[in-house]
Structure 1
């Protein structure tokens, strides 16, 4: 079954189609042939602006976990020989402080419907019964509905490949900086948490790089969305961390 043909999803997709098309029309006098790409960037920024309270809560939780580090180390000392009890006490402490070791995943989960919608807009030939004219839109000669893997297989590589190279370079750079920031701001030392949580934290630190792989197989429009939203996340976290550090120093 085609999930995009399911009535509620088709209606949402049709609304998104009208939104992108209408916004592109408004931006056309300024952006010209890049109007649709500019519309995607604008929508991404609107979504991220709406998610600022979520980002704020994630950074607040990060500082809460950092504050809990001494308590976690004490639990480690007291229950080191009973890993099951240590894990239970650790989770109880997180619950009591209304913090979570997985809090950073929430913004990604909330954006999943948006990226799925952008993906659908640029792979379907028809949207809710009418032709999908967004598939004709391009960025410097590259169709917004074309993924990198498909573009490389088409034979027409140069100079369009520079579009993908630039976007993937941005995403990869942001992923590297995001991982560095996450490790630098880790709230606890490795020996203060249960082994299972240590492994999970280590795995999650590499998650930003998964975006690079994902960006190479989705339509160019979705790659643009990913480049903008990951860059926004990095900048937003940096600003919020500085603000909370300033508040704590007072």
Structure 2
């Protein structure tokens, strides 16, 4: 079942498609064939600007977790033989500080519907009972609705497709590595070891996702990943972690 046949989602799909087409028409006189790709970038920047308050909240939460880390270690040492008491004391500490172990996850959750909509826009040949003309647009000759995995499985891969997707994936992976090196995460000492390791793995998961989604969504992921690194570097200076 196609969820975008449901009236609310169909409306959002039609609205998103119309907005991208309007931006594409606006950019076309100046940028020609790059207009649709630039429309996706423009949408990305608008979304990221709207999420700046959420990014500030995330930076504050990270600073708070880092500040609480020594107290969390003390709780862990004191109640290590009583897991239930440790859990209660830990959650009470978070409540007292008006934060939670999962604080700061909202930016990822907030962007998921945007990526899903872009994915849907470039997969539907018809939207609102009209032909989806966005599917006729490309980036350097690669259709915006093409995914690398889809091209590989259907035998439609060419050198340009490989180069474009490889470039985006390398940028995403490079930014993830810079994030790992420049932004030490504020880890919860009460968290299990596997969870700490998973945080590092997730930093590179976006590069994997970019292989499966249409080029338009991969372009969105690339721009938002670069933006996120820049924003976090600025906010880290505003909300530094304890030494």
Shorter-chain TM-score: what band? Answer: over 0.9
Note the alpha carbon deviations across 1:20-44, whole angstroms, 9 max, x for none.
0001111112221000000000000
Q: Structure 1 residues 67-76 or 38-47, which shifts more?
A: 67-76
Asked whether the equivalents of residues 57 and 104 of structure 2 are also in contact (C-alpha less than 8 Å), the reply is: no
Q: Residues 236, 146 of structure 1: CA spacing in aligned structure 2 closer, same or farther, 3 A cutoff?
A: same
Q: Match for residue 55 of structure 2?
A: 55
Moved more, 204-213 or 38-47: 204-213
Between Structure 1 and Structure 2, how many residues are aligned? 242
- Could you say if the C-alpha distance between residues 180 and 92 of structure 1 is closer, same or farther in structure 2, counting changes exceeding 3 Å? farther
- 5+ residue gaps, structure 1, are none
Higher deviation after alignment, 38-47 or 159-168: 159-168
1:2 corresponds to: 2
Equivalent residue, structure 1, for 2:168: 167
CA contact (8 A) 2:172 2:206 kept: yes
The aligned counterpart of 2:226 is 231
Residue equivalent to 2:190: 193
1:211 aligns with 2:206: yes
- Provide the rounded CA distance (Å) in 2 between the counterparts of 1:218 and 1:232: 20
State the 1:159 CA deviation.
2.7
After TM superposition, give the deviation of residue 118 of structure 1 in Å: 0.2
Question: In structure 2, what is the equivalent of residue 84 of structure 1?
Answer: 84
Q: Aligned partners of 1:129, 1:240: CA distance in 2, in Å?
A: 45
Is the contact between residue 80 and residue 86 of structure 1 (CA under 8 Å) also seen in structure 2?
yes
Distance 1:106 1:155, change over 3 A: same
The separation in 1 between residues aligned to 2:142 and 2:73, in whole angstroms, is 54
Change (3 A) 1:49 1:31: same
Separation (CA, whole Å) in 1 of partners of 2:31 and 2:165: 20
Aligned ranges for residues 122-137 of structure 1 at < 5 Å?
122-137=122-137
Q: Which residue of 2 aligns with 1:35?
A: 35
Q: CA RMSD in A?
A: 1.9
Q: Secondary structure of the residue that 1:103 maps to in structure 2?
A: coil
Following the alignment from structure 1 to structure 2, what is the Cα–Cα distance between the partners of residues 242 and 29? 40
Structure 1: how far apart are the matches of 2:49 and 2:235?
14
- The answer to whether the Cα contact below 8 Å between 1:72 and 1:90 also exists between their aligned partners in 2 is yes
